[in-house]
Amino acid sequence: MDYYGFYTGKEFTAYEYLGAHIQENGTVFRTFAPNAARISVIGEFNGWQETPMDKVYDGNFWECFVPAAEAGMMYKYRIHKRDGSFIDHCDPYGFQMELRPHSASLISRLGDYAFRDSKWKKKHRIGLDKPLNIYEMHAGSWRRKGGAEGENAWYSYTELAELLIPYLKENGYNYVELMPLSEHPSDESWGYQNTGFYSPTSRYGTPADLKKFIDLCHGQGIGVIMDFVPVHFAVDDYALWNYDGTALYEYPHSDMGRSEWGSCNFMHSRGEVRSFLQSAANYWLEEFHFDGLRMDAVSNLIYWQGDTARGENRNGIGFLQEMNRGLKNLHPEALLIAEDSSIYPGVTKAVADGGLGFDYKWDMGWMNDTLSYFQAPPEERKQKYHQLTFSMQYFYKEQYLLSLSHDEVVHGKATILQKMYGDYEGKFPQARALYLYMFAHPGKMLNFMGNEFGQLREWDEKRQQDWEILSYPVHDAFHRFMMDLNKLYLENPALYEMDYNPEGFRWLDCHQGERLIYAFERRSGKQRIAAVFNFSDEVQEGYVLEVKEGTSLSLMISSEMESREKQIIPLKEGKTVISLPPYSGRYYLVEEE
């Protein structure tokens, strides 16, 4: 390891030196704890008695070799403080941990799985002109064995792959995004309050099991993204908190040390902390072959505590820039996605040009405006008409990804289907029209599990999705509609190829506030699609749709039908008169001479 790089926040492979590393005749343990009085390693290999560690290099690192320590054995570091007390900590760089509520690290070998995804790695290419349809999910509550609750009902990583991959392919998703899998003590945190930043959660199996899951996904053409949490960590005293008897990873004062979630904020001004986090990011991409990372709570790195009134956090911004630049140098094809609710400019601009270096940013403004619009009754939508046109006034400032994520279906917010205005029967046509609008809008796509079949109950990490509602024809029809829409998106370049080129979008009509009609065109180099919507509760007769330079329209998909029906509409001087049912949307392929 480059010690100078570690201290200055330039190191991306600190995990190759720190942690427990299996050697030919035992295991070497190393940890960074500059303020500890002394440290011992305790574990199964020594009857949980202390094996002293020695100071190495500059005295801030500690090391020992234990001949009897083998893969799979549990261990901790007993860190003696300068006041004479001690506490047992799991390994900050540990590669595996016990299932909660236990908290020991497990010796685990790097390179313990032989990947077979060379073909995927060789051919896989990201690009703004590629389709990106992401299925966001929580591994422990997508499905459960027998539908039961409790940890015995979790599917393992490999069992999950057998069920999930065919589902993703059948439904038309080309990426899956997994909520955080780094070890965490509380199920209710969903993985966003970590104790083991290098340890895949043992809830669903071993590190090798997770690698096999990703390998199997790649074998079937599915990319895998993981949520990564570089802002804060769990307060549990056996983990990073007060690690060497002092605030080594966190701020020393509570006004900055505690986050809005009650967790500890990382102190990003310290090079050792930056090296810890960016090495962890590299670890998941390098060792597990993840195809990308979705960075959580980026606005809390851009601004102090995420509050614009407190000003910019230059250390946080610098950390993001250096991490993203380094990750792109190491993994040019990795997707780096920001969950950022701020209006800070240049999130998806290259670091060399002064930006933060992300590939995509979640469009939280689009999400809030769109859901607010669809929650309103039709008469109020007339006043809200331009909530749906506003996104295109700022869209080309960043490379946006449209997300209807887990955050929108919890905490009393209701599910996407339930958010639709009106009674039960009236919600389905609106939800179909909403998704048609979403997939026609420029930007890449993300949808949370359950949304695709009209989940009615808010997401609960303790229960699987309500798959039984697919026995109801209206939910089954909605699900089949979403399958058609997903596949149509992947198959038609006009819907993705020019997402971030202003030439790829043109308003056909955005001045129908009284009728709640919207029409726009998407295009690629060789294809044009006209999308038209009626978001009122009335039939809109005699609407004149004008599509310049077109000779005819071919219906591709409609929110009113369950299957695609061939329908050709001739254009006279680029115009046609159509009737739009209530709460409806349609895509037309534009034919030219």
Residues 405, 483: Cα–Cα separation, whole Å: 18
Task: Let me know if 476 is a catalytic residue.
Answer: no
Choosing from 296, 322, 340, 452, which is the catalytic residue?
A: 296
Q: Assess contact for 44 and 74: CB atoms under 8 A.
A: yes
CA distances from 207 to 157, 202, 210, 309, 335 (A): 9, 8, 5, 42, 22
Q: Which of 11, 250, 322, 339 is catalytic?
A: 339
Sign of CA pseudo-dihedral 100, 102, 103, 106: negative
Calculate the alpha carbon distances from 167 to 214, 218, 313 in Å: 15, 14, 42
Distances in whole angstroms, Cα of residue 312 to Cα of each of 8, 233, 316, 546: 21, 21, 8, 47
- CA trace torsion 329, 9, 320, 177 (10° rounding): 70
Task: Return the number of other C-beta atoms located less than 10 Å from residue 72's C-beta.
Answer: 11
Residue 74: φ, ψ to 5°: -85, 150
CA distances (Å), origin 520, targets 133, 213, 364:
21, 40, 22
Per the annotation, the verdict on 215 as an active-site residue is no
Tokens of 44: 């199964």
**What does the alpha-carbon distance between residue 255 and residue 307 come to, in Å, rounded to a whole number?**
13
- 8 A C-beta contact, residue 136 and residue 417: no
Q: At what angle do helices 364-375 and 424-440 cross, to 10 degrees?
A: 150
Chain-centroid distance of CA 415 in Å reads 18
For residues 465 and 419, the answer to whether their CB atoms sit within 8 Å is no
Q: If we measure between CA atoms, which residue out of 418, 421, 474, 384 comes closest to residue 582?
A: 421
CB 358 within 8 A of CB 295: yes
Please check whether residue 494 is in contact with residue 529, taking contact to mean a CB–CB distance below 8 angstroms. yes
Strand partners, 182: 200
Do residues 75 and 26 make contact, with C-beta atoms less than 8 angstroms apart?
Answer: no
543 strand-pairing partners = 578
SS3 assignment, position 170: helix
Catalytic residue IDs: 296, 339
